[in-house]
Amino acid sequence: MKRILLLSVLAIAAIAFYSCRKDVTITPPPSLTGDYTGWYIFQRGVTPPESMCITVRFTQDRFQVRRDTVTCPDKPRIACDADGGYALSANVTLSALNDLGYNPTAQICDISRNPFGNYIIDQSIADKVTLESQTGSGEDLVYRKFDLDIVQ
């Protein structure tokens, strides 16, 4: 009787161990490396959002944002050109590499509109990337969005 009980307990333990042994696979975030064209959208407070036609390049750990004067020559500049580093995890964090005053377009733009911050990434549509960030609300709202198409 003790043997049957012991074998039953061991069998239950083995079944429980193997059934709970399913590996949890965490998919790494998709790469951003590449060249993109699209729009940078910025909104502060309750004013209407503004947009700027841009080109973006992501390398392994750096990014570069430039106003696209070829595709949209008549669209105004709403932010400075930006160079920086980025970290990719569940979200994307864009950060400046140097003093913002060093930016060559700083005299003709509002540095506070630059795209530095934490973004939610959406790559659910083939050949498109959307990065979206929002802090505050009402008068304290700061909303930033990249709506990008991959350059083939």
Give the mean pLDDT per block of 10 residues along the chain (152 residues): 60 59 64 94 95 94 92 89 85 76 64 88 92 94 96 87
- Residue of 122, 127, 124 whose CA lies nearest to 146: 122
Q: Residue 109: its pLDDT value, please? A: 77
Are the C-beta atoms of residues 36 and 56 closer than 8 Å to each other?
yes
∠ Cα 126 113 121 (to 5°): 25
What predicted TM-score, i.e. pTM, was given to this entire model? 0.76
Q: Residue 35: its pLDDT value, please? A: 96
**Residue ranges per structural domain of the chain:** 34-150
Q: Residue 58: its pLDDT value, please? A: 94
Candidates 2.60.40, 1.10.10, 1.10.3470, 2.40.128; CATH matching 34-150:
2.40.128
Are the C-beta atoms of residues 57 and 35 closer than 8 Å to each other?
yes
Q: What separation in angstroms does the CA of 118 have from each of 13, 47, 93, 94, 132?
A: 46, 22, 4, 6, 8
- Amino acid type, 121: I
